[in-house]
Amino acid sequence: MRILVVTSQFPIAGDPQRGRPVYQTVRELARQATVKVLNPVATYPDWAQPRSYLARAAGANPVAAECDAEYLPYRTLPLLGRPLNGWLCARAISAPAADFRPDVVLSYWLYPDAWGAQRWARRAGVPLVAGARGSDIRVRDAISRRLTRPVVRGARRLLVVSADLGRLAVRDYGADAARVRVIPNGCDARTFHLRERGPARAALGVEDAAELVLYVGRLVPEKGLRELIAATRSVAAQRPRLSLVLVGDGPMRGEIEAALAATPCAAVRLAGPQPPDSVASWLAACNLLALPSYSEGHPNVLVEALACGRPVVATPVGGIPEVVDESCAIMVEPRTIEPLAAAIASALDRAWDEQTLSRRYSRDWSEVATDTLKACAEAIADARPATT
């Protein structure tokens, strides 16, 4: 089977950690089929950079090992260019897609990536499999929702990372439930596994007695970071050994740095974006992972935290309850501060069985790839003309 993957959620030179779950899936998929990745990357003038995320340069050379990836930049503008981005994406992928001659197109990120892929696939007579990751289907603005709807309805198969997203696709977008496939993320056990806390702390310069709370992800308001920092300040007033480390990058970084400069808090530290090996070291070093998001798909960092034997404080939103429950996490309602502070303190005081936590999740990326390949085969079979 020849599979053309179209997605902007893929590692690039300026952001080598972008789209790691998609990369992990595609890398394993390439062991089972012939796979070509086209990565359409929106670029912006220096005077008009987007506010919702940090635009990074793709660079000339691929950074995703073991994948045949081609980076296709296209020029656009924030907000004003949004209605045209799907068309620009379709134009960018047109020639290399035709050269590859795929049996099926697999596109992660519904708009503009899958919209552009759908436009090309229809002209080429090739079925489309679309993959929704979370915020690409939980869109708020009317324009993006209108442009997302035909992709969700028209894809031969719609892959979602949680049952919650599948229900949303059917309820809010009119997706055909028979075409929806729930394919949760996997975990690389070679990287994320139970390790001793002491050596990890020594390597990272963390004191043995510290009560370390870790956040890993994009620095955006929707992750509940304002509440998490406020809760940390509250808990630290009673627990001076408390420390919060934020691993990641995003448009909130400047705001957080300014807030810490205005009102210093030794308990909060920005560690910046980190490769998977370093994330695993931070998970080994921490006492717990905090993810107080407003919405989520299937957050892979929860799976990785559990694989490392670390408990979780999180919110019961999106696909989070499909990953954790009271045996491994303390749940708190989103957009709260004092309940979040209480949950962090309670999690730090509770005795967790790290061995049991680390055995909770065993799904690897080869299983994700196998499920994805099956969905692609179903799409191809559905697209064949009926015989009499």
Confirm if 313 and 347 have CB atoms less than 8 A apart: yes
Give pLDDT, residue 130: 98
Of 43-52, 96-105, 153-162, 362-371, least confident by mean pLDDT is 43-52
- Per the CB < 8 A criterion, the answer to whether 58 and 39 are in contact is yes
Tell me the β-bridge partners of 301.
none
Q: Is the pLDDT of residue 263 over 90?
A: no
Q: Per-residue DSSP letters for 298-344?
A: --HHHHHHHHTT--EEE---TTGGGT--TTTEEE--TT-SHHHHHHH
Residues 6 or more apart whose CB falls under 8 angstroms from that of 236 comprise 242, 265, 267
How far is 135 from 148, CA to CA, in rounded Å?
12
- With CA atoms as reference, report the closest residue to 131 among 95, 157, 98: 157
d(CA 105, CA 82): 22
Distance CA 148, CA 143 (A): 9
The confidence score (pLDDT) of residue 14 equals: 73
Is the N-terminal amide bond of 112 cis, ω within 30° of 0? yes
Banded pLDDT at 388 (limits 50, 70, 90): very low
Distance CA(69)–CA(4), nearest Å, equals 10
Query: What distance in Å separates the CA atoms of residue 147 and residue 161, rounded to the nearest whole number?
Result: 21
Q: State the virtual CA torsion across 281, 284, 286, 287 in degrees, nearest 10.
A: 170
The reported pTM is 0.89
Which pair of tokens denotes residue 150? 């035909």
Q: Residues of the chain with pLDDT > 70: what percent?
A: 94
pLDDT tens digits along 27-67: 999 999 999 999 998 877 776 676 655 555 555 555 666 78
- The pLDDT tens digits of the residues spanning 331-375 come to 999 999 999 999 999 999 999 999 999 998 878 999 999 999 999
* pLDDT score recorded for residue 238: 93
Return the pLDDT at 231: 96
- Provide mean pLDDT across the span 91-101: 96
Q: What are phi and psi of 75, to 5 degrees?
A: -85, 140
CA–CA dist 225, 263 (Å, integer): 16
Query: What's the mean pLDDT in 199-203?
Result: 97
pLDDT above 90 covers what percent of the chain?
78
Q: CB-side exposure of 371: number of CA atoms within 13 Å?
A: 19
- Residue 190: half-sphere exposure toward Cβ, Cα within 13 Å: 2
User: In terms of Cα–Cα distance, which of 286, 318, 276, 304 is closest to 363?
Assistant: 304
Q: What distance in Å separates the CA atoms of residue 183 and residue 24, rounded to the nearest whole number?
A: 13
Question: Phi/psi at 362 (nearest 5 deg)?
Answer: -125, 5
Measure the CA–CA gap between 43 and 235, rounded to whole angstroms: 42
pLDDT over 60 at 386, yes or no: no
